[in-house]
Amino acid sequence: MQAARDAGQLVILLDEILEVEFSFRDTTVPAAAIAAMEPRLQDYVITWIKRVASTNIELAYQYACHVERALGLMDVETVESWALSAMDAYDREGLRPARQIILGLDEFVRLTREQADGCLLSNQQGILLGFLNGLAGRRLRIQESTQAYTDSETLFLPSLLARLATPERNFQLYKVTIAMLWAQTRFGTLRTLLEAGFLDAEDSGRRLALFHSLDTLRLEAIIARELPGLHRELVTIKQDLGEDRLPAPWDALRWSVSAEGCTAWDVVERVRSLSNDTEPLPVFAHQGILDLPAVAACVAARVSREKTLFKVRMEQLKDELGVQEHWSRDREPRLTKRLHEASELPEGAGVDILIDGKPLPLPDDMQDLVSSILMDLGDIPDEYLEPAGPGDYDPKFFQDSSSETEDVWSGVYHEKGALLYQEWDFRRQHYRKNWCAAREQSVEPVDNGFVVRTLEKYQGLVKQLRKTFEALRDENRRLKRQPQGDDVDLDALVEALADTRDGREMSERLFTRQHRTERNIAVMFMVDMSGSTKGWINDAERESLVLLCEALETLGDRYAIFGFSSITRKRCEIYHIKRFEEAYTDDVKGRISGIQPKDYTRMGFAIRHLSRMLSELDARTRILITLSDGKPDDYDEYRGSYGIEDTRRALIEARREGIHPYCITIDQQARDYLPHLYGPAAYTVIDEVRLLPLKVSDIYRRLTT
Amino acid sequence: MHPDIPQLDNYLVKAEPFYQAIGDEITIFEASYQKGLPVLLKGPTGCGKTRFMEYMAWRLRRPLITVSCHDDLTASDLVGRYLVKGGETTWIDGPLAQAVRGGGICYLDEVVEARKDTMVVIHPLADDRRVLPIEKLGTLIQADEGFGLAVSYNPGYQSVLKDLKQSTRQRFVALEFGYPSPELETAIVIKESGLEPAIAELLVRFAGMTRNLKGSGLEEGASTRLLVHAAKLIVSGVAPVSACRSAIAQALTDDAEMLASINELSSSLF
């Protein structure tokens, strides 16, 4: 093991890493602190100073100055996450906030402690959302916010809860809070508040607080009936936080709202009858706040949206039924409604829709819609059942407004509408989060006769390819001499009988069986569209694709083709040429003809994007084939080892997803780096560009048999 | 009796199976059977399709031959095939041919799983001809009066491949099976497992929660069959939360996050 470095050696080392020559930085203090450490710890600290220095020198200097104290306060892992979060902050917002994190060491320690005992919403959101969806009623969403409340469609929850001692207990607090907010939407709290006019009343502040206190007690009683297990949890939490004892008048009030069948309207009545000196209860930890304006806005928007949706869907249903029932065109069927008992619903009754007096079976989405309307209005108003006029249809209610990729680009330089991908920084030995902004665009189809020319040029080859690939197609065939099967194999039987006459043992393989196989292969071609492909490489690429498509169409494998190019991490582009589900149409041919050299070769994001697409596909074998002409390279720092290491990392991620990456390149230097990226056997270097079209199909054939 | 006609007594359902009617399915099935119409049972897994068939077979006193279809099931698996015995080939009737000759009810469970060519065999049986052609023998068997055909199918599968062709589905009288109403389902769980009513009610409420999750992480909610499994575990002394975890949650999904959500739901109830 290496001996400990002394302070003098460390000063020289740090001066070099931190480039102090032209700055005012003084390394003697950190060097002295590090000199006092054990040799192994010294190595560790110096490695990390180098890693941070790869992001920013000043940050690394601050890190060096504070790392000794940090190691005294936190364990090694937390010190690492301290440095990483500073580097993430640097990536996101620049030096100042990053430096703040390093300098604000004590704040970081406090937050970490809190996070260690607390429960982070982002870690548990999936589970909590599943829990919330399982509770009946309208589909609700979960979103981070500073306080807990709901607008009747989204539950807003604080990003961290740390009021209880352990993460598990704090998770339970989230659960109880969610159940409480859910109960507000489900058991009439919000609807009643709006109808009772709390929004406009002058003294609403105090009355609202009183209502909230009392209604919370009512909802707790409902939770006790509906979710007994959760209520036990609620009781323990209240005990832990000292919230279990109520001041005198409230104990009696609690009983008055706990009976089954007590509604939010009863609570409103009680609040009216309360004397003026009754003080609201202190807010419980699980109670959240009531944000009435938010609720009012959300409900208003939803009611009008759902009214339209209901009418339009009803018309569609009528049309569907009309075809079956042969209604005459001139007479519209009449819609009516009927209430029916439903003990499982909080309203105590559900609504059936009748069409000419006969119950209309509603599809699932309609049933959800009806129950959502019932939650808002308590009924299906009669006007909902009147036929929809022509003006009622407004398509904006049915689709999300998403901005076009191109719109985002016209003159704007930010990350709106882009997919963000992480990138591996080998110096930091860690990912840079949301680093690449990737966008998908289509190649503009060009009809210049390129495909026809190519097919003519390679006439002989195309014929040969078709033949070879046809032979590959593993079709159904009759297998002979099987131990089991549909039919007797006469040849085998005659032989077997002859054998028995001879005194030999009779074979058991006497049947024929229909054999059926399918090539369950999906292949993604990732085509380099960087500027360096300009000229004959681009021609060769396009020709290869044309021939490949011919071959694959014969074979019947599923395939997709995408191009990629980039100019800095903010403009990473994926060019759509052919999707898996798309047929090999003239449009696709036009897009292949239209492939043009663009900018640089950032490979990591393209591999990540395309392998994500590939892994969503249900196929036994998934292959990602890259056609390229050089090593990964981009206008910013994405070159040399950085680019190669990120590409390698992206390929490792793809392999972990069960994808087989393969690379076909014409870069003569590729033998130096491709084995490192793709492994020793998963690449081919083609010596002459003009051979590319001839080789690609052949390589594909070898790869998949 | 003709010696060729097989004896199907083994296939008779001896004791009355427990079946709780949800709607008018019993009347409809009986009427269809009397008129020689084939029946298509639709519905999610575990909601009582197979139990219904057993019950109807018992009620009509007909033998029930059930074939669980799989993706390698061929027409000869249903109709029959030649076997080689001691140097001679003999013809063996398949389950469908047995039912056709002997006047039993043939029930093809999860019929979409079978290979496409299998469907063609049942077509002439499923319309007014009621005949089964046996290509290899070159004969045509006219179905016995007592013969009935029923197939089941789960429309919940999203795959396009697992859909019935119109030419097939338009030969059947269709019965839709859904989850029973909470009261009915509670009664079924109590009857099948002997669980005490209060817990059975919570169990049914839990099933409702998992059904709410259909489409947002789960392919299907918990079926009545799973509830009965869980109830049986609880009756033999397993704690309700563990019973729900083993008999329901783990059976529904492998996704760790979804499992955690479902477990949180069950622990909220019990």
Question: Does residue B70 carry a pLDDT above 90?
Answer: no
B-chain residues within 8 Å CB-CB of A227?
Answer: 268-269
Question: Does residue A403 carry a pLDDT above 50?
Answer: no
Cβ A229–B212 below 8 Å, yes or no? no
Look up residue B111 and give its DSSP letter. Answer: G
Interface of A with B in 514-533 (CB under 8 A): 514
Contact by Cβ (8 Å): B49, B43: yes
Joined tokens for residue B64: 């029930």
Distance in Å, alpha carbon of A384 to nearest chain B alpha carbon: 26
Question: Side by side, which strands form the sheet with A659-665?
Answer: A419-425, A430-442, A572-578, A558-566, A521-528, A621-628, A659-665, A683-685
Last-in-domain residue among B128, B149, B176: B176
Q: Is A503 on the interface with B (CB under 8 A)?
A: no
Q: Which of A421, A462, A463 is nearest to A439 (CA)?
A: A421
In a domain, B198, yes or no: yes
Same domain, B166 and B127: yes
Q: Is A131 on the interface with B (CB under 8 A)?
A: yes
User: What is the model's pLDDT at position B3?
Assistant: 43
Rounded distance, CA A223 to CA A246, Å?
A: 18
Q: What are phi and psi of A36, to 5 degrees?
A: -80, -5
Q: Which of A332, A357, A268, A297 is nearest to A150 (CA)?
A: A297
Q: Which of B189, B265, B263 is nearest to B233 (CA)?
A: B189
User: What is the model's pLDDT at position B203?
Assistant: 94
User: What is the model's pLDDT at position B158?
Assistant: 43
Of A95-109, A286-300, A370-384, which range is least confident? A370-384
CB pairs under 8 A between A and B: 84
In a domain, B66, yes or no: yes
A-chain residues within 8 Å CB-CB of B241?
Answer: 229
**Amino acid residing at A473:** R
| Domain count for chain B | 2
Segment holding A511, helix H or strand E: strand A511-515
A56-93 as b/e: b if 16+ CB within 10 A:
bbbbbbbbbbbbbebbebbeeebbbebbbbbbbbbbee
Half-sphere exposure of A32 (CA within 13 A, CB side): 3
Joined tokens for residue A621: 């074998």
Contact by Cβ (8 Å): A151, A292: no
Contact by Cβ (8 Å): B253, B217: yes
Rounded distance, CA A192 to CA A215, Å?
A: 11
Half-sphere exposure of A57 (CA within 13 A, CB side): 13
Q: Is B178 on the interface with A (CB under 8 A)?
A: no
Of A245-259, A300-314, A367-381, A570-584, which range is least confident? A367-381
Of A605-619, A662-676, B9-23, which range is least confident? A662-676
Contact by Cβ (8 Å): A147, A199: no
Of A125-139, A167-181, A322-336, which range is least confident? A322-336
**Amino acid residing at A16:** E
Residues A252-291 have pLDDT tens digits of 888 888 888 888 889 888 888 887 788 888 888 888 888 8
List the single residue in A134, A139, A497 with the smallest CB-CB distance to B209.
A134
For B221, name the nearest residue in chain A, comparing CA atoms only.
A134
Look up residue A22 and give its DSSP letter. Answer: G
Joined tokens for residue A673: 């780096």
Contact by Cβ (8 Å): A362, A370: yes
For residues A193-197, average pLDDT: 84
Question: Does residue A392 carry a pLDDT above 60?
Answer: no
Contact by Cβ (8 Å): A663, A683: yes
Cβ B216–A136 below 8 Å, yes or no? no
A-chain residues within 8 Å CB-CB of B186?
Answer: none
List the single residue in A127, A133, A496 with the smallest CB-CB distance to B216.
A133
Q: How many CB atoms lie within 10 A of CB A497?
A: 15
Same domain, B29 and B148: yes
Rounded distance, CA A9 to CA B89, Å?
A: 94
Q: Is B156 on the interface with A (CB under 8 A)?
A: no
Mutate to test the interface with B, among A169, A223, A230, A499 (most CBs of B within 10 A): A230
Residues B26-69 have pLDDT tens digits of 999 999 999 999 999 988 888 889 999 999 999 999 999 999 98
Rounded distance, CA B85 to CA B208, Å?
A: 55
For residues A375-390, average pLDDT: 75
Q: Is A486 on the interface with B (CB under 8 A)?
A: yes
User: What is the model's pLDDT at position A405?
Assistant: 45
B-chain residues within 8 Å CB-CB of A179?
Answer: 268
For residues A391-412, average pLDDT: 45
Cβ B208–A136 below 8 Å, yes or no? yes
In a domain, B2, yes or no: no
- A589 Cβ contact list (under 8 Å, min separation 6): A445, A451, A546, A549
For residues A201-228, average pLDDT: 87
Rounded distance, CA A241 to CA A281, Å?
A: 14
Q: Is B209 on the interface with A (CB under 8 A)?
A: yes
Q: Where are the alpha helices (DSSP H) in chain B?
A: 25-34, 49-60, 75-79, 95-102, 116-122, 166-169, 182-193, 197-212, 224-235, 240-244, 250-252, 256-269
Q: Is B184 on the interface with A (CB under 8 A)?
A: no
Rounded distance, CA A594 to CA A33, Å?
A: 62
Question: Does residue A94 carry a pLDDT above 70?
Answer: yes
Cβ B267–A229 below 8 Å, yes or no? yes
Q: Are strands B80-85 and A521-528 parallel, antiparallel or unpaired?
A: unpaired
Question: Does residue B220 carry a pLDDT above 50?
Answer: yes
In a domain, B4, yes or no: no
Interface of B with A in 67-86 (CB under 8 A): 74-76, 81-82, 84
- Please indicate whether residue A239 or residue A413 has the higher confidence score (pLDDT): A239
List the single residue in A175, A344, A488 with the smallest CB-CB distance to B264.
A175
Please provide the size of chain A in residues.
705
Q: Please report, in angstroms and rounded to a whole number, the separation of the first and last CA atoms in chain B.
A: 60
A-chain residues within 8 Å CB-CB of B89?
Answer: 488, 493
Cβ B76–A486 below 8 Å, yes or no? yes
User: What is the model's pLDDT at position A178?
Assistant: 94
Rounded distance, CA A347 to CA A310, Å?
A: 20
Of A214-228, A474-488, A524-538, which range is least confident? A474-488
List the single residue in A128, A133, A506 with the smallest CB-CB distance to B212.
A133
Same domain, B159 and B27: yes
Same domain, B129 and B217: no
Q: Is A203 on the interface with B (CB under 8 A)?
A: no
Contact by Cβ (8 Å): A523, A700: yes
Contact by Cβ (8 Å): B44, B179: yes
Q: Is A128 on the interface with B (CB under 8 A)?
A: yes
Rounded distance, CA B213 to CA B261, Å?
A: 10
Cβ B202–A228 below 8 Å, yes or no? yes
Of A278-292, A354-368, B11-25, B101-115, which range is least confident? A354-368
User: What is the model's pLDDT at position B156?
Assistant: 62
- Please indicate whether residue A601 or residue A328 has the higher confidence score (pLDDT): A601
Q: Where are the alpha helices (DSSP H) in A400-535?
A: 405-409, 450-457, 459-472, 490-501
User: What is the model's pLDDT at position A498?
Assistant: 87
Same domain, B139 and B52: yes
Q: Which of A595, A625, A606 is nearest to A525 (CA)?
A: A625
Q: Is B203 on the interface with A (CB under 8 A)?
A: no
All structural domains of chain A, each given as residue ranges with its CATH number in brackets, are: 7-117 (no CATH), 119-290 (no CATH), 299-395 (no CATH), 477-516 (no CATH), 519-703 (3.40.50.410)
List the single residue in B75, B183, B268 with the smallest CB-CB distance to A230.
B268
Q: What are phi and psi of A356, to 5 degrees?
A: 50, 40
Mutate to test the interface with B, among A123, A133, A174 (most CBs of B within 10 A): A133
Mean pLDDT of chain A: 83
B-chain residues within 8 Å CB-CB of A496?
Answer: 84
- Bridge partners (DSSP) of residue A565 are A573
List the single residue in B208, B241, B257 with the smallest CB-CB distance to A130.
B257
Rounded distance, CA B106 to CA B11, Å?
A: 10
Q: Is B266 on the interface with A (CB under 8 A)?
A: yes
SS3 assignment, position A45: helix
Q: Is B136 on the interface with A (CB under 8 A)?
A: yes
Look up residue B88 and give its DSSP letter. Answer: E
CATH code at position B71: 3.40.50.300
Rounded distance, CA A23 to CA A296, Å?
A: 59
B-chain residues within 8 Å CB-CB of A232?
Answer: none
Rounded distance, CA B10 to CA B15, Å?
A: 13
Same domain, B113 and B207: no
Q: Which of B101, B8, B95, B97 is nearest to B57 (CA)?
A: B8
Reported confidence tier of residue A349, pLDDT bands at 50, 70, 90:
low
Q: Is A691 on the interface with B (CB under 8 A)?
A: no
Q: Is A142 on the interface with B (CB under 8 A)?
A: no
Rounded distance, CA A404 to CA A207, Å?
A: 48
Please provide the size of chain B in residues.
270
Q: Is A635 on the interface with B (CB under 8 A)?
A: no
For residues B229-253, average pLDDT: 94
B-chain residues within 8 Å CB-CB of A175?
Answer: 264, 268
Q: Which of A322, A234, A319, A249 is nearest to A284 (CA)?
A: A234
Same domain, B165 and B34: yes
User: What is the model's pLDDT at position B243?
Assistant: 94
Q: Is B210 on the interface with A (CB under 8 A)?
A: yes
Look up residue A571 and give its DSSP letter. Answer: -
Rounded distance, CA B184 to CA B205, Å?
A: 12
A-chain residues within 8 Å CB-CB of B267?
Answer: 229-230
User: What is the model's pLDDT at position B51?
Assistant: 92
User: What is the model's pLDDT at position A388?
Assistant: 61
Distance in Å, alpha carbon of B256 to nearest chain A alpha carbon: 9
A-chain residues within 8 Å CB-CB of B216?
Answer: 130, 133, 139
Same domain, B52 and B123: yes
For A135, name the nearest residue in chain B, comparing CA atoms only.
B209
Q: Where are the alpha helices (DSSP H) in A473-585?
A: 490-501, 536-555
User: What is the model's pLDDT at position A413?
Assistant: 45
Same domain, B258 and B125: no
Same domain, B172 and B234: no
Q: What are phi and psi of B114, to 5 degrees?
A: -70, 160
Last-in-domain residue among B124, B155, B176: B176
Question: Does residue A401 carry a pLDDT above 50?
Answer: no
Domain ranges, residue B42: 9-176
Same domain, B149 and B189: no
Residues A12-45 have pLDDT tens digits of 888 888 888 777 788 888 888 888 888 888 999 9
Last-in-domain residue among B176, B191, B221: B176
Residues A516-549 have pLDDT tens digits of 666 778 889 999 888 888 888 888 888 888 888 8
B-chain residues within 8 Å CB-CB of A228?
Answer: 202, 269-270
Cβ A228–B209 below 8 Å, yes or no? no
Question: Does residue B253 carry a pLDDT above 70?
Answer: yes
Segment holding A181, helix H or strand E: helix A167-186
User: What is the model's pLDDT at position A245?
Assistant: 84
The pTM assigned to this predicted structure is: 0.67
Q: Are strands A487-488 and A430-442 parallel, antiparallel or unpaired?
A: unpaired
Reported confidence tier of residue A399, pLDDT bands at 50, 70, 90:
very low
User: What is the model's pLDDT at position A581?
Assistant: 87
User: What is the model's pLDDT at position A163?
Assistant: 86
List the single residue in A227, A486, A510 with the smallest CB-CB distance to B74.
A486
Using a 10 angstrom Cβ sphere, with 0-12 exposed, 13-18 middle and 19 or more buried, the burial of residue A663 is buried
A-chain residues within 8 Å CB-CB of B212?
Answer: 133-136
Look up residue A199 and give its DSSP letter. Answer: T
Reported confidence tier of residue B108, pLDDT bands at 50, 70, 90:
very high
For residues B84-101, average pLDDT: 86
In a domain, B127, yes or no: yes
Segment holding A146, helix H or strand E: none
Strands (E), B117-169: 131-134, 139-142, 148-153
Q: Please report, in angstroms and rounded to a whole number, the separation of the first and last CA atoms in chain A.
A: 52
In a domain, B1, yes or no: no
Segment holding A175, helix H or strand E: helix A167-186
Contact by Cβ (8 Å): B107, B152: yes
Same domain, B170 and B39: yes
For B213, name the nearest residue in chain A, comparing CA atoms only.
A134
ipTM for the whole complex: 0.80
Strands (E), A306-418: 335-341, 349-355, 358-359
- Please indicate whether residue A77 or residue B115 has the higher confidence score (pLDDT): A77
Tell me the percentage of chain A whose pLDDT exceeds 90: 12
In a domain, B265, yes or no: yes
In a domain, B160, yes or no: yes
Cβ A134–B210 below 8 Å, yes or no? yes
Tell me the percentage of chain A whose pLDDT exceeds 70: 90
For B263, name the nearest residue in chain A, comparing CA atoms only.
A131
Cβ B262–A486 below 8 Å, yes or no? no
Reported confidence tier of residue B264, pLDDT bands at 50, 70, 90:
very high
Find the angle CA(B180)-CA(A348)-CA(A387) to the nearest 5 degrees.
90
